[in-house]
Amino acid sequence: MNGNDEQERRAFELGCAVGLGFTKPLGLMRPGSVGRILAVQCGDDKRDIERGLLEMGFVEGACVEVLHHGFLGRDPLAVRINQSMTVALRRCEANAVLVGPLLDELSARPVYRREHGIA
């Protein structure tokens, strides 16, 4: 596994997406919208939340689809990750996840290629 390439690719992807104005925190996405996670970042005081998010599958490069919102204040969110697991989380944690468009041509991930058609 080449960590440097991976990081460079990610930085490039993030740069493109930010430059094109396509990025959004997960908490602001509407139900039915899809995207790819560009970054999972919490402040240094919230490393536990970052770990929690990572452990539930919110990791850079994963595809996300917002399925539902709660009926009050559109909170919490139900998010499908990589078409395999659905996770409920509150908007305030979801905003630590930065999502960009599904950029197939930039992605070097054949594993989950199939889903993009669905998205």
Q: Cα(93)–Cα(76) distance, rounded to whole angstroms?
A: 10
Does the protein bind another protein through residue 13 (CB under 8 A)? no
* Nearer residue to another protein within complex by CB, 16 or 87: 87
With CB under 8 A as the rule, give the number of residues binding another protein: 43
CA nearest to 62, candidates 30, 36, 80: 36
What SS3 class is residue 53?
Answer: helix
Q: What is the dihedral of CA 22, 15, 2, 82, to 10 degrees?
A: -10
The tokens describing 44, both together, are 């240094």
What part of residues 16-55 is at the interface with another protein (CB under 8 A)? 40, 47, 49-55
Query: Strand, coil or helix: what is 7?
Result: helix
Using the minimum distance from each CB to another protein, give the nearer residue, 21 or 45. Answer: 45
Rounded Cα–Cα distance for residues 86 and 82 (Å)? 9
- Return the residues of window 66-95 that contact another protein according to CB under 8 A: 67-73, 75-76, 78, 81-90, 92-93
* 57 is an interface residue for another protein by CB under 8 A: yes
Least separation, in Å, of the C-beta of 21 and another protein? 26
Judged by the rule CB under 8 A, the positions of this chain that interact with another protein are 1, 6, 40, 47, 49-57, 59-60, 67-73, 75-76, 78, 81-90, 92-93, 109-111, 114-115, 118
